Structure 1
Amino acid sequence: MIEAPTQDDLRQIALSLIHAQQTVSEILHSELDGSKADLVLIQRALDSGVIDPEAEYTIRSLGLAFGKVFVNTESGYDWWMINDEYGRDPAIRYLQSTLTFHPQDMLLKRVERGEEINIPELYDGLRSQLREIIDGGVDGSGHR
């Protein structure tokens, strides 16, 4: 189920974004600002070797910072909450459609699998993939 975030949801997202900011600041002595420049900072933080691959909260927080860039720079996307069998998690949703993605899990799953992550490429690939889906009909079935 897709729901609007509650005040508590927004507080949790904000705390995660603060953690991402603190992580980047401690490692790189730089500030996240929600712009595409953050993609390079997230990349550099992940590449630094300082973040333990087991540090799930930190990696998920950096994923939310990645999502913040997406919401800030791509038209029609905003934060929503997904309630499903896995729990209640923030997601980014396109307009009032069923098209959603979980940025916090995008990074975590790749780290868990030991994959090389190129954050700017991941962003561009995600944007292209979502545009293809939208151009084919928002939910992939032609329904808008």
Structure 2
Amino acid sequence: MKQTVSTPSNLDLERLEEQRAVVVRFVSADSLSNYQTVAGKLGTLRALLDASVFAPDQTYELQCMGIVFGDAFVQQHGFEWVSVEDEYGRDPALRFPRTSVLLFPLTMISKRIERGEAIDVFDMFNGVADIALEKVQEELKG
């Protein structure tokens, strides 16, 4: 089966909100305004990782962190949430508008933690952004 990319359904959007909420519950009321920034989102993720709040086998919670990581791409670089369906199921992804460049932030954090890797979310964010935006530029030049 080929990949099908579509606008997220209402159910998809509800799932994203539920996953964001898992992370936001760790943000103090005093920090909520800072959390609205890209640095605030990434800083929250870093703090959760540094404190080992979620164990490597807490895949759902780690994937919730991936959604917030993706939100930082939307906010900083203009990516948009889409749904990608293939023979393995339907997952949220990011697409740069008017391109075929896709990112799958849902598992970017969970896969690394499950493998026992240390993560610097700021370095990962910048590294993924550099590669993705280079592909965007190549594609838009055509």
Regarding TM over 0.5, the answer is yes
For 1:83-117, what per-residue CA distance to the aligned partner results, in whole angstroms no more than 9, with x for missing partners? 01221010000113221111111111111111110
Secondary structure of the residue that 2:129 maps to in structure 1? helix
- Counterpart of 1:18 (choices 8, 16, 21) is 21
Secondary structure of the residue that 2:38 maps to in structure 1? coil
Post-superposition shift, 1:30? 4.2
Name 1:2's counterpart in structure 2.
5
Does the 8 Å CA contact 2:80/2:95 hold for their aligned counterparts? yes
Letter aligned with residue 108 of structure 1: S
Q: Which has the larger share of helix? A: 2
Q: Residues 1-144 of structure 1 correspond to what in structure 2 (within 5 A)? A: 1-22=4-25, 24-25=26-27, 30-31=31-32, 32-75=35-78, 77-138=79-140, 143=142
Partners in 2 of 1:103 and 1:83 — Cα distance? 15
Partners in 2 of 1:6 and 1:103 — Cα distance? 18
Residues 103 and 114 of structure 1: is their aligned pair in 2 closer, same or farther, counting only changes over 3 Å? same
Post-superposition shift, 1:16? 0.5
For 1:27-54, what per-residue CA distance to the aligned partner results, in whole angstroms no more than 9, with x for missing partners? xx84332522211210110110221111
Structure 2: unaligned runs, 5 residues or longer? none
The worse-fitting range, judged by mean Cα deviation, of 78-87 and 44-53 is 44-53
Aligned-pair identity in percent equals 26
Say how many residue pairs are matched. Answer: 136
Task: Identify the structure with bigger relative contact order (alpha carbons < 8 Å, sequence gap 6+).
Answer: 2
TM-score, length of structure 2 as denominator length: 0.87
Q: CA RMSD in A?
A: 1.7
